[in-house]
Structure 1
Amino acid sequence: MSTADLIAGSAPIIDPAAFERLRARRHASPDDVATVLAARSRRPLVRDDGRLFIVAADHPARGALGVGDDPIAMADRYDLLQRLALALSRPGVDGVLGTPDIIEDLALLGALDDKIAVGSMNRGGLRGAVFEMDDRYTAYDVDAMVHDGVDAAKLLVRVNLEDAGTARTLEATANAVTAAARARLPILLEPFMSRWDDGRIVNDLTTAAVIQSVAIASGLGASSAYTWLKLPVVPEMERVMAATTLPTLLLGGDTDAAPEETFASWEAALALPGVHGLVVGRTLLYPKDGDVGRAVDIAAALVHGR
């Protein structure tokens, strides 16, 4: 599905001239990034219904460009930005999650006004690398997010009990949570119990493993006052939510399930106490039928009501 086909029968959200201006500013006026971020209109993290719907786009920085059967679906940055701009233009979409390059592109394009910007701290352990469990943080840090007016932070916490590298990850995560709490910056932790399996890392999505990951992540840092959780939807989700008092957003992920099944599982989990919304990326930005607007609208209705 081409970019021109993303919005049924209408022009793309971003025109070629806007991309030309973006390239020119990045080339000749790098100070514009800080200026635009400082000037953008901001909003409270949550509004009247207390719910959040965030579109995720931090996958490319992890080298994870594939969606479904296409290993380089997210490789075209201009196509990705069009999809993000379309998603952000839809009612009920509260903001975007990305690494600095994504957040800054969207800010320069004027797509972040009155939207939540969630800064991904990213992970150093790239998929398939010999250092995959070395999940040091390689993008935003708390000071940079506070300086740039980023509204919340996000990081991944993979806990592998068979890999000594996990100790460094837990220490770095605890330090980030402590720094975020001191800065009063909400921080989303995405925890998994992980293991090596035939040379690759696999996340354990059993209910018991997710509960264990919640317990570990909840205790990281000198204060949990600003900690949120970002959790996958698994069987017996009510047991998972009984394991924490922390505000929680649901992780969408890339799935082979039929869209109807995916939306139904989200709807059921969104009804649980403590669940306050969705963070979804590839499933909505690259839907199987190519209709980004429709997929985003359905998810927004699940989060905020029709």
Structure 2
Amino acid sequence: MSDVILPTDAVSNGSPATTESRYEQLTRIRSTRPGEIARAAARRRRRGLPAEDERLLVIAADHPARGSLSVRDRPLAMASRTDLLDRLCTALARPGVDGILASPDVLEDLLLLGALEGKLAFGSMNRGGLQGSVFEADDRFTGYDAASIDAMRLDGGKMLCRIDPDDHATVSTLESCAHAITDLARRQLVAMVEPFWSRRSDGGPLRNDLSPDAVIRSISVAQALGVTSAYTWLKIPAVAEMERVMAATTLPALLLGGDPPDMDAAYADWGRALRLPGVRGLVIGRALLYPPDDDVATAVDGAAALIREVG
């Protein structure tokens, strides 16, 4: 992994240090000068939203906040924060990477590390539906709100919107998402909505239905949330019959990566879907940050190449 470099004005002596000591300095800054986080956000160099025909590559890193730490057969792959930050800094430094989606704790570490300069940054808003919990469908807003996203000079907020017709908690999640979309739009900030039609079978875990019909149904509900859809983007999976899926919306859509067992097949699916007019890019986390060979740079470069091919 590449070195992680704290901005010199955020480090007590500004001297070179090892990766380990830089992470120690993160803790020191957090414990003695927490105001540095807001100052780093205030001075961060931002980039604009995509141009007319531009497609985006955004790295997702909000999984740990929902207790989702596994990647393929590694149940605690994302457990080490320093390892995750190493991988994120490597990914963000690669050509063609436009930004990141993460929870407040991760974005704040990256701000202090100086890794968000010139990048889009989206804050994850609802992480309360912990993976595997009995209350998973009750996706409470436990992270960013619209006011804090605005204050931190982020570019928008992301929300998970799982719709389980058999779970009464779903209506609360829908209402909360609608309020968040409205609050973001009033500030002219992007609301990135990740909808799924979801169900439990025989009391088991909540599972997302990835059939084309279910994805279309989830899009139809999600795109109508809030008092306006002017600033709403969709974050959706690349599934079968994507032409029919994308015909369900006029909103811009970004493809999520998930945890694919076969990276070659995943690249092929993303490449095909990226050629559809409404698809404006990729938002991928575990698949690029924890590839089977642990070569983050090569995995990210492969996704960036897909973007260039259709750009």
| Per-residue Cα deviation, 1:186-223 (whole angstroms, up to 9, x for no partner) | 11100000011232101100000000000000100000
How many angstroms apart in 2 are the aligned matches of 1:157 and 1:30? 32
Task: Please say if 1:237 is aligned against 2:242.
Answer: yes
Q: Tell me whether 192-201 or 86-95 shows the greater mean CA deviation.
A: 192-201
Q: Tell me whether 43-52 or 118-127 shows the greater mean CA deviation.
A: 43-52
Task: Please say if 1:58 is aligned against 2:62.
Answer: yes
How many angstroms apart in 2 are the aligned matches of 1:50 and 1:290? 29
> What is the aligned-residue identity percentage?
54
How many angstroms apart in 2 are the aligned matches of 1:138 and 1:236? 34
* Partner secondary structure for residue 171 of structure 2: helix
Letter in 2 for 1:220: L
* Partner secondary structure for residue 33 of structure 1: helix
How many angstroms apart in 1 are the aligned matches of 2:295 and 2:127? 30
1:119-268 alignment runs, 5 A limit:
119-198=123-202, 199-256=204-261, 258-268=262-272
Q: Which runs of 5+ in 2 are unaligned?
A: 6-18
* Alpha carbons of structure 1 residues 246 and 130: separation in structure 2 relative to 1, 3 Å: same
Q: What do you get for the CA RMSD once the two structures are aligned?
A: 1.2
Q: How much has 1:273 moved relative to structure 2?
A: 1.1
Q: 1:3 maps to what in 2?
A: none
CA contact (8 A) 1:99 1:122 kept: no
* Partner secondary structure for residue 189 of structure 2: coil
CA contact (8 A) 2:184 2:191 kept: yes
Task: Please say if 1:286 is aligned against 2:294.
Answer: no
Q: 1:28 maps to what in 2?
A: 32
Q: How much has 1:19 moved relative to structure 2?
A: 1.5
How many angstroms apart in 1 are the aligned matches of 2:156 and 2:180? 12
Q: How much has 1:280 moved relative to structure 2?
A: 0.2
Q: How much has 1:304 moved relative to structure 2?
A: 2.9
Q: 2:275 maps to what in 1?
A: 271
Q: Which runs of 5+ in 1 are unaligned?
A: 1-5
* Partner secondary structure for residue 159 of structure 2: strand
How many angstroms apart in 1 are the aligned matches of 2:229 and 2:20? 44
* Alpha carbons of structure 1 residues 218 and 252: separation in structure 2 relative to 1, 3 Å: same
How many angstroms apart in 2 are the aligned matches of 1:97 and 1:242? 26
How many angstroms apart in 1 are the aligned matches of 2:52 and 2:175? 36
TM-score, normalised relative to structure 1: 0.94
Q: How much has 1:16 moved relative to structure 2?
A: 2.6
Q: How much has 1:13 moved relative to structure 2?
A: 4.2
TM-score, normalised relative to structure 2: 0.93
CA contact (8 A) 1:49 1:304 kept: no
